[in-house]
Structure formats: structure tokens, C-alpha cells
Chains A and B, each alone.
Chain A
Amino acid sequence: MAKGISDKVAILGMGCSKFGERWNDNAEDLMLEAFQEALTDAGIEKDQIDAAWFSTAIEEQHVGKSGVPLAIALRLPYIPVTRVENYCASGSEALRGAVYAVASGAADIALALGVEKLKDTGYGGLPQRSRGSVNDLVWANASAPGSFAQLASAYAAKHGIDRGDLKRAMAHISVKSHDNGAKNPKAHLRNKIDEDKVLNAPMVAEPLGLFDCCGVSDGSACAIVTTPEIARSLGKTDLITVKALQLAVSNGTEAQHNSWDGSYFMTARTAARRAYKEAGIENPREQISMFEVHDCFSITELVTMEDLFISPEGGAVKDVLDGFYDADGKIPCQIDGGLKCFGHPIGASGLRMVYEMYLQMQGRAGERQRADEPVFALTHNLGGFPHQNVCSVAIIGREGA
């Protein structure tokens, strides 16, 4: 068994641009905005960075292919830049690349930066595009909301849950994220909403209404990582280290084999099990202080509470409605507003999740700061469709915890 990544790499600095409809900014502007914040936070110079990982998913809508756009935007000094794409979990892939480089000793200091510019399509939501020349011949004409909406039909059927009750729990999730986003100056959506507004919204893909869906945003986020030793040599104390970085990728079982019932994520359960083991966490419901999940849709957040083994199977509706995951609940989920309200610039989202956990651990989360001191924080970053996806689970925490 591999020894894992726990405590081998520390976060030296992080940055995040304002997310939203950045009509007058190019991707390069957003990248620089996030990078400069991280560089200042890290207290280093640009030429101290040995290597970079650059994540973006729908590059044809903005920067195009390769690592070159990052190198040009930041004028990096001819260092290695690797461009990564793994659906909506691309940001976590950039972090994984940078952290592994430092852990291996190949780099002392590494940069992970993600960006997406989605508001140049002319319409709301993700761009309608080809899925690949062979897939286009047989794949259903599926959008993201339509794919995730099916979780609700399968989940309700499996657990015998009334679809009205499920819809109300989903509404609670969205109301909670809007409450949290209202306190976040970098969030895309900062308006509070109530349950009636969610329940009466126009239908996007049944049973997901408009407020069950996260918007798409322009934005960028980044992390600078190094070894704990180098971090200390740079004067850092109370280090936040990486405890686990796991990724599980569908191999076609969900899409093609009848062993999956469509009500949960096989990948999330696999990645979560491995991440808890890597981080040495035995009871996540007791040990995880807070978490950010990939709440692309309200139903995704709901089933993910079970896939991360925090709510018991079939018990997420109760926990959600009890306020267990609210900002003042036992384990806050999406305390920054989540994808739902902070926004979802695809390539940046995985890094944005870690950014909020990092701020909370340092007591720098402003109006939305949790009073109790977080020890372990988890991020869950998903890409693709329930029946075919990639799922990243990352855990960060206090050094030595």
C-alpha cells in the first residue's frame, strides 16, 4: 500500500478572483487576479516557482489548448507548464499535479492555477458541444441538468421517498447556499432566496428547477504549494497541509453494467474511502470539520452527503432538513456559497473549494468565518455525468493532526 500524501506538502499561498459575469475581462485578467493574491499570500517571487499545472475544461471558449496561455498570462520564466483537463474536476487535477511534484522532490515550489471563461457563449448554462465523433452517434441528447436530474428519480425510487419531500430537501440546500453566498464578496450570486422561490421556479430538467442548478461563471483560483520544511524556512507557522488527494474514474460499469442503480456515485464512494484512509480518518461524521462539495445541482449535493459517508444511506434528506449542513450546523457544507452561489468557472472550481477551506482554517473567512477551529476540511470535485464521471476527494488539515 502506498504511503500516501499526508503531511508531505503544505499550502504556501492561495488566491481566487471574483467569480461572476466578468463581461470586460479576458481569462488572462482573471488568471493574474488570482495569481497575484496567491503570490502575496505565499510571500515569494514569481521566479521561485519551479513548475506549474494549468487547468481549464472548455478551452475552445477562451484560451485554447496547452500550457502556453498560463505561461504568457503570468510571463512565467520558461518553467514546465502542464495543462490538465478532467471535466469539471480539472481544478483538483491541477492541484494534484503540483502537490505530487513537490512530494516527489522534483519541485520545491509548484503552482496550480485554474480558469474558465464561460460567459462568452451567448446563453446561460454550459456550452452545447460535441462529445466526440463516435459518442455523438449514440449518446443521448443529454445536458448536465438532465443527467444529474435522473439521480432524483432513482434515489426516490430506491429509498421510497416521496418526490415532494425530496424536492423540499433539495430546496433547503439551495436556500442554504444562497444564505452563505450572500456573505461572500467574491461570490457570483449574493441574493438570499426562500423555499417558495425554489419550488416555484421554472423547470430546467425535471425535477430540477432553475434554483436547483448552479450557474456558470467566469473566474480563476490558484494554489502555491511547497514542502513543510520550505514553508517554515519562509517564515510560515501553523501550516495547512494536504492530507489526502484521491481521484476515482468511471470505467463504464455505471453506464453499461446493471450493477449500478443510478441513485449514487460509485466514484465518490471509492474516492472517499481511499481519501479517509490516506488521511487517517476513521469516522468522517465526527472528524470532518467542514466541507465543500460539487453542488452543480441540489440533488448532487444531497446524494453526495451519503457518498462521503457523512449521512447514512437514505438519511441525507433528514440531515439536510435538520440543518446539519447549514453554516451554523454540525458540519457546514458550502459555507462559501458553493458552486451554486460562489459560481462555477469549471477549471477553477476544485481550487476554489480548497481556497475557502484554507481561509476558514486560518480564520480569514470574514463574515462567514466559523467560530470553532477547523481541523480537517474536505473538498469533493466531480466531473461528467452520474453514469460516467471523474470524482476527486481532497482533504486538507492542520499539520500533524
Chain B
Amino acid sequence: MSIGILSFGGYVPRARLSRQAIVAANAWFNAGLKALGKGERSMANWDEDSVTMAVEAARDCLTGIDRTTLSAIHMASTSFPFQDRQNSGIVAAALDVEGGIQTLDLSSSQRAATSGLAAALRMAAGDGAPILFTAAEKRRTKAASPLEMTTGDGAAAVLVGDGDPVATFLAGHTETVDFVDHYRGQDEAYDYTWEERWVRDEGYMKIVPAAVAAVLAKAGVEPGAVDRFCFPAAARGVAAGLARKMGLREDAVADNLQANLGEAGAAHPLIMLVHALEQATPGEKILVTGFGQGCDALLFETTEALAALPARMGIAGHLARRRAESNYQKFLAFNDLITLERGLRAEVDKQTGLTTLFRNRGMVEGMIGGRCTQCGTLQFPKSNVCVNPNCGAVDSQEDQPFSDVRGRLNSFTADRLTYSPDPPAFYGMIQFDEGGRLMSDFTDVDPDADLRVGMPMRMMFRVKDYDTKRGFRRYFWKATPAENTITEE
């Protein structure tokens, strides 16, 4: 038994916005953006936020794992949808693991995930029961800003604990320095940033080496023995420069995914760690760093258990689950960066009764339906009287989770009348393979999708409605075509 990473998962939103599209729209104003115009960045759908992405990464991480064994769910982000409502608690509800479980949100720095992961590893050493550690980010950026070009949206999750890890935790070290390269004050929507050259020369090049040298010394590992160096900053050439300075091998510098994802803020070190684990073979040393008012450095070594891990989407699978987006205007609309005429139908009040939500949270957040103990019929929602016309038993249903059950399309439409932030609104009847059905919203459907009766569908946790009057949002599950996933049907 040793402390380390027992499992991992990742999530990247399906849409990838071409950076050339951003340049085409904004270079008239800021010609400097042209230098950043290569590749694409991930772009969260209108119904995604850091919580929904964390849920998807967590589900991916928990592939083949009994959720009742979890002792805690931690979530790191600087873009939590709620300032006062535990966001990791929503993740717990979506995973249907409410109850005697610890939840904890970590924020306020780009190294929230690495600092939090270091703490979780220490806690795991004391407790033993696995901690699900998630990180997700959907940074708000101003139109025509360099950050808009270099950032991306995404999430990752690792299960840490004492057991037979896929990667053993060797050592960790944190250097704390109140080096303010950027900040976001209370009530501010966007980051305020300082000159990049100063950040590079006085920040990255001085603080990171101190943290790395310390962690390598703690572990007794030579710099040249590091196989993968995960440094999350988007700035070009910095990771390679650091490697040279610190004596790391040139080939150890990990791809920062700038070409096809972008830098996902506080979640990015964890995304890079998961991506590294996906590619690693047993016996590799992986060094992960997180930079922000200092630097965290964590060193792992992969084990033979890596090969036994069941197949999952991970970062690589989600990168492959890609839809090219060249419409920058859509990005602006999804992120409230323009005032769109949404029409009178968008004016419907979306107030959520908190009593109503609490009473029905299993149905809504956990997608818990019922299974009749008399006739075995699965049904959603769970109800007092069995829906089977040949049964009708009263109070006979036990909890039946539907979120991981595959379904098939029974009927569908693409609706241009109802208000949707991304018309047409796709929805239809999903029939679950083991019984039960739902007239469900669809998400991540291509505008020219060839939907067919009978095609396989799976459920994803998404924002159902935004209550813009009160700053609330409600979540539910939506169906998406199960094709273009690497896991088996």
C-alpha cells in the first residue's frame, strides 16, 4: 500500500474555437493577437460551467470504481459558479454520493489545484479512504484580450488515496511568494494583468526552479531522471527554458496543449497531469507544477497498475471528441460579451423554489428514478404508483440512478421556436436500454446532425436554466449522441 493516484479522468468541451476566427474579428483593434493566432481553444457550451465540467471529469475518473468508497470530493477552480454554495457539493449531488462525505472548494489562485492536490495527498496519508480531487476552469476573458486567445475551458479529476496507485506520490513542495502577475478583485469579472516579460523573467524563471529543486531534493531524484515535466503556463518557450535552467531533459517537457485546448487556468496542471498519465508507461517520473503567488511542485512515479486501469475518455478521448467552431460571435454570445437580442420568449422567469429543488434534488441533480420492487420496471421520475399498466403497485419503488444508463433515441426534433441560447433546441424521447424513458433536452448536437430513431444516447450533467434576475442556475441531465466516445456501448 502506498499513497498516490488511484485513478484519473478528464473533460474538454466539444467545441474548439479557431483562434484565426478570433484574430479575424479583433486584429483590427489589437494587431498583436496575430502572433497568437495558431490552433484552437476549447469552448464551453452555453450550458457548461466549471461544476458541470468537474462532474464529467469525475465520472470519467470513477470509471469502474464504486462511488460509495469515496471519503471526500474536493474541487479547485477560480471560476466557481457560486461564491456561497459549495460547488463541490453540487458535484457530490450529481454523483449521487451525498451524505457522510467531505466536500471542499479550493480557489483564489492559479495554483489552487496543485496546492489542493498536495493537501489531499497528505490527508489521504492520514485517513486512507480515497479522495476524489477535481479541478475545472471556465475563465472569463475580455474580447480581444491575449487571455481570450490563450485560455481554454476544461476539467480533470484524480482519485487519491492509499492503495495500489497508478502513480505513487514521491514528494511535494510549495514556494509561497506574493508575486502578483495578475489578479481579480472581488466583484470584478476579469483579470488585470501585468507585463509578460516581467512575469517570465522574475516570476516563472526564478520561483519555479526553487520549487522544483526543493521537491527533487526531497525525493532524492536527479533532474535528468524526470520523464515528464508539466508546466501549465501558455507563454511560449518558457517550459523549455525552465527545463534547460533546471537540468531537466528537453524531451521531458510535456505538451501544454496550447495548440488544441488552451490553458485552462487553475485546472490546467491537473489536465496536464492526467494527459501525462494517459501517455505514460510504468516507472516514469512525472513532475507537475502550479504557478500563482508562488509555485507548487509535485512528483509522481507511475506503476504497473497503470496498465490495469479500465478504458476511459480522459483528456485524449475528449480532445478527439471534437467539433470545429469558427463562429467567434457564438463565443461572445455564450460568454455574455455582447448584448444579444434574445427575444420576448427569453423573458420567462426562471426562479427556482429552493424548497422545491431540495425536495427533488435526487431527481434533478442525481437523476435518480425508481425501480419497482414488485415488477422490476424502471421509471423516471420515481413515483408513488408504478407506471407499468400491468402492475400499479403503490410505494414499491427503490432508487434507480439513470445518469450512467445508455439510451436510444425514440423521437426527436430541432426546435427554432422555443427560446434557446443556441438554436435550434434539440430534444426528444430517450428510451433507456434497461427500461425507463425521458423527454430530454439534448446537448452537444451538431447543427447539421443526422439524428436517427434508434441511435445510442448517453446523459451529461448540464445547466438547465439560468436565472439571470437572481444569479442562480439550475442543473439537470441532458442526452447527447453516444457515438464518438471511445468507451464501449
Contacts and interface: CB of A to CB of B under 8 A. Distances in A.
Interface residues of A, number: 45
Nearest to B419: A128
A154 to B, nearest CB: 4
B360 A257 contact: no
Contacts of B427: 140-142, 146
B415 A145 contact: yes
B437 A203 contact: no
A153 B416 CA distance: 17
Contacts, number: 139
Interface in B372-397: 377, 379-381, 383, 387-389
A141 B418 contact: yes
A140 B436 CA distance: 16
A153 B412 contact: yes
B464 A137 contact: yes
A205 B414 contact: yes
A387 B439 contact: yes
Contacts of B387: 252-253, 256-257
B439 A205 contact: no
A37 to B, nearest CB: 34
A389 B341 CA distance: 33
Nearest to A156: B453
Contacts of A206: 413-415, 424
A153 B418 CA distance: 19
B44 to A, nearest CB: 19
Given A143-B415, A154-B411, A137 B360 contact: yes
A204 B417 contact: yes
A263 B412 CA distance: 11
A187 interface: no
Interface in A253-298: 253, 255-259, 261-263
Given A138-B476, A146-B425, A258 B435 contact: yes
B340 interface: no
A371 interface: no
A128 B454 contact: no
A121 B416 CA distance: 18
B94 to A, nearest CB: 14
A142 B439 contact: yes
Given A121-B344, A146-B413, A140 B441 contact: yes
B413 A149 contact: yes
A208 B343 CA distance: 21
Contacts of A23: none
Interface in A30-86: none
Most buried by B among A128, A257, A258: A258
A25 B381 CA distance: 43
B389 A253 contact: yes
Contact of A146 (B352, B356, B357, B418): B418
Contacts of B418: 128, 141-143, 146
B37 interface: no
Contacts of A259: 389
Given A123-B344, A150-B413, A262-B411, A255 B437 contact: yes
Contacts of A204: 415-417
Interface residues of B, number: 53
Residue in B350, B360, B418, B428 whose Cβ sees the most chain A Cβ within 10 Å: B418
Contact of A128 (B348, B453, B465): B348
A146 B417 contact: yes
Contacts of B281: none
B411 A205 contact: no
Q: Pick the most buried of A146, A151, A255, A259: most chain B CB atoms within 10 A of its CB.
A: A146
Contacts of B476: 137-138
Interface in B455-489: 464-465, 474, 476
Interface in A129-177: 129-130, 133-134, 136-147, 149-151, 153-154, 157
**Interface-centre pick from B347, B413, B427, B465 (highest chain A CB count, 10 A):** B413
Given A146-B417, A205-B416, A153 B436 contact: no
Contacts of B419: 128, 141
B364 interface: yes
A256 B411 contact: no
A125 B429 CA distance: 23
Nearest to A142: B427
A400 interface: no
Contacts of A235: none
A204 B413 CA distance: 10
Contact of A139 (B410, B415, B439, B454): B439
Interface in B226-270: none
Contacts of A208: 413
Given A123-B345, A141-B427, A153-B411, A256 B436 contact: yes
B397 to A, nearest CB: 12
A150 B417 contact: no
Contacts of B381: 138, 256
Given A256-B387, A257-B388, A150 B412 contact: yes
A122 interface: yes
Nearest to B352: A137
Nearest to B359: A134
A191 to B, nearest CB: 22
A60 to B, nearest CB: 12
A232 B98 CA distance: 71
Contacts of A145: 413, 415, 417
B353 interface: yes
B349 A123 contact: no
Interface string B349-367: 1101100110010011000
A262 B345 CA distance: 27
A141 B350 CA distance: 12
Contact of B453 (A137, A139, A154, A202): A154
A139 to B, nearest CB: 7
Contacts of B440: 140
Lowest 5 CB-CB distances: which A-B pairs, in order?
A146-B415, A150-B411, A157-B453, A143-B418, A149-B413
10 contacts: A128-B419, A141-B420, A141-B425, A143-B417, A143-B418, A150-B411, A154-B411, A257-B437, A258-B431, A387-B429
Given A123-B343, A137-B364, 16 more contacts: A137-B356, A137-B474, A138-B476, A141-B425, A143-B417, A150-B412, A154-B453, A157-B454, A204-B415, A206-B424, A208-B413, A253-B389, A256-B436, A257-B388, A257-B389, A257-B437
